[in-house]
Amino acid sequence: MPATLKDIAKDANVAMSTVSYVLSGTGIHKVSEDTCKRILASAKRLHYRPNIKARGLSKGRTYMVGALIRQLTTSFIPEIIQGLEKVLEDNGCCLILSTYTDSTEFTRKCNYLYQHGVEGVAVLPEEDLPEPNTGDLGLNRIPVVSIASTLADYPKVWVDPLAVGRMALRYLAELGHREIAYGGTLLPRLQGMLELARHYPGLRCRCQGDLTYRPVGGETLLAWLRTLEPFPTAVITDSDIDAIALIQAATRTGIRVPEDLSVVGVDDLEVGRYSLPALTSIGQPKLDQGARAAELLLDAIDGREIHDCILQPFLVERQSCRKRTN
Partner DNA sequence: TACCCTTAGTGAAGCGCTTCAATCGGTTAT
Partner DNA sequence: ATAACCGATTGAAGCGCTTCACTAAGGGTA
Q: Give residues in contact with DNA (CB under 7 A).
A: 4-6, 13-18, 20-21, 23-24, 26-27, 29-32, 34-36, 50-51, 54-55, 57-60
Q: Does 8 bind its own copies (CB under 8 A)?
A: no
Q: Which stretch binds its own copies (CB under 8 A): 34-42, 169-177, 203-211, 270-278?
A: 270-278
- Strands (E) in 26-131, as ranges, are 64-69, 94-99, 120-124
Q: Are 129 and 70 in contact (CB under 8 A)?
A: yes
Q: Is 231 helix (H, G, I), strand (E, B) or coil?
A: coil
- How far is the CA of 299 from the CAs of 63, 169, 181, 294, in angstroms? 13, 37, 42, 9
- Which of 239, 236, 242, 237 shows the shortest CA–CA distance to 219? 242
Q: How far apart are CA 225 and CA 113, in angstroms?
A: 46
Part in contact with its own copies (CB under 8 A); list of ranges 172-180, 184-192, 195-203, 240-248:
240-248
- 191 near its own copies (CB under 8 A): no
Residue 4 site contact among DNA, its own copies, none (CB < 5 to 8 Å, cut-off depends on kind): DNA
Question: Binding segment for its own copies among 149-157, 182-190, 212-220, 317-325 (CB under 8 A)?
Answer: 212-220
Q: How far is the CB of 44 from DNA (least distance, A)?
A: 14
Distance spanning both ends of the chain, measured CA to CA: 76
236: Cβ contacts below 8 Å, ≥ 6 apart: 165, 168, 169, 172, 180, 181, 182, 183, 184, 193, 264, 266
**Member of 53, 59, 199, 323 binding its own copies (CB under 8 A):** 53
Among 308, 313, 129, 311, which residue's Cα sits nearest to residue 239? 313
CB of 85 to DNA, least distance (A): 23
> CB 289 → its own copies: shortest distance, Å?
15
Q: Under the criterion CB under 8 A, does residue 82 sit at the interface with its own copies? A: yes
Residue 99 or 191: the one with the smaller Cβ distance to its own copies is: 99
Among 63, 154, 171, 182, indicate the residue that binds its own copies (CB under 8 A): 63
| Minimum separation from the CB atom of position 116 to its own copies (A) | 5
302 in contact with its own copies (CB under 8 A)? no
Burial 64-96 (b: 16+ CB within 10 A, else e): bbbbbbbeeeebbbebbbebbbebbeeeebebb
State how far the Cα of 236 lies from the Cα of 177, in Å rounded to an integer: 12
Which does residue 137 bind out of its own copies, DNA, none, counting CB within 5 to 8 angstroms by kind?
A: none
Which uninterrupted H or E stretch holds 170?
helix 161-174
Residues in binding contact with its own copies, number by CB under 8 A = 51
- Other C-beta atoms lying within 10 Å of the C-beta of residue 133: 13
Q: Does 137 bind its own copies (CB under 8 A)?
A: no
Binding site for its own copies (CB under 8 A): 1-2, 49-54, 56-57, 62-64, 67, 72-73, 78-79, 81-82, 85, 89, 94-99, 111-117, 140-141, 217-219, 241, 245, 248-249, 251-252, 270-271, 274-276
